[in-house]
Amino acid sequence: MSHTTSSPKPTALFDLHRAQGGRMVDFAGYSLPVQFSGLLDEHNHTRNFASLFDVSHMGQVSVSGASFEEASAALETLLPGNLQNLKPGGMRYTVLLNSAGGIEDDLIVTRPAVEQGEDVCISIVVNAARKAHDMQLFETALGDRLNFELHEDRALLALQGPLASKVLATLSDAPNRLSFMHTTPSKIGRIDCQISRCGYTGEDGFEISVANSRALELAELLYADERVLPAGLGARDSLRLESGLCLYGHDMDDKIDPVSANLVFAIGKKRREAGGFVGDKAVLSILEKGPEMLRVGIVFDGRMPVREGADIVDDSGQKIGNITSGTFAPNLGRPIAMGYVPSTMVAIDTPIIAMVRGRQIIGKIAKMPFVPQNYARQPGI
Partner 1 sequence: MTKKFFSSDHEYVIADGGSAAIGISDYAQDQLGDIVFVELPEVGASFKKGDEFAVVESVKAASEIYAPVDFTITAVNEALSESPDQVNSDAMGKGWLIKVTLDNTEQLNDLMDESAYATHIA
* Positions that interact with partner 1 (CB under 8 A): 34-35, 38-40, 43, 234, 238, 303-305, 307, 327-328, 330, 357
Q: Which H, E and C letters describe 272-340, residue by residue?
A: HHHCCCCCHHHHHHHHHHCCCEEEEEEEECCCCCCCCCCEEECCCCCEEEEEEEEEEECCCCEEEEEEE
Pick 102 or 232: Cβ nearer partner 1: 232
> Which C-beta is closer to partner 1: that of 93 or that of 328?
328
- Using the minimum distance from each CB to partner 1, give the nearer residue, 30 or 300: 300
Q: How far is the CB of 327 from partner 1 (least distance, A)?
A: 6
CA distances for 148 relative to 65, 82, 138, 145, angstroms? 9, 20, 7, 10
List of residues 6+ apart from 239 with CB closer than 8 A: 43, 46, 47, 160, 200, 201, 202, 203
In whole angstroms, give the CA distance from residue 264 to residue 257: 9
CB of 34 to partner 1, least distance (A): 7
Strand partners, 50: 228
Q: How far is the CB of 54 from partner 1 (least distance, A)?
A: 18
Helix axes 39-48, 233-242, angle to 10 degrees: 60
Q: Return the number of the residue (35 or 194) whose C-beta is nearest partner 1.
A: 35
Q: Which is closer to partner 1, CB of 166 or CB of 307?
A: 307
Please state, in angstroms and rounded to a whole number, the distance separating the CA atoms of residues 288 and 102: 17
Q: What are phi and psi of 256, to 5 degrees?
A: -115, 130
Q: How far apart are the first and last CA of the chain?
A: 37
Nearer to partner 1, 24 or 264 (CB): 24
Q: Which is nearer to partner 1, 236 or 295 (CB)?
A: 236
Contacts of 230 (CB under 8 A, 6+ apart): 17, 20, 22, 33, 36, 42, 51, 52, 53, 223
User: Which residue's CB is nearer to partner 1, number 76 or number 203?
Assistant: 203
Q: What is the CA radius of gyration of the chain?
A: 21
Q: How far apart are CA 120 and CA 136, in angstroms?
A: 19
Task: Report, in Å, the least distance between residue 128 CB and partner 1.
Answer: 19
Which one-letter DSSP state was computed for residue 169? Answer: H
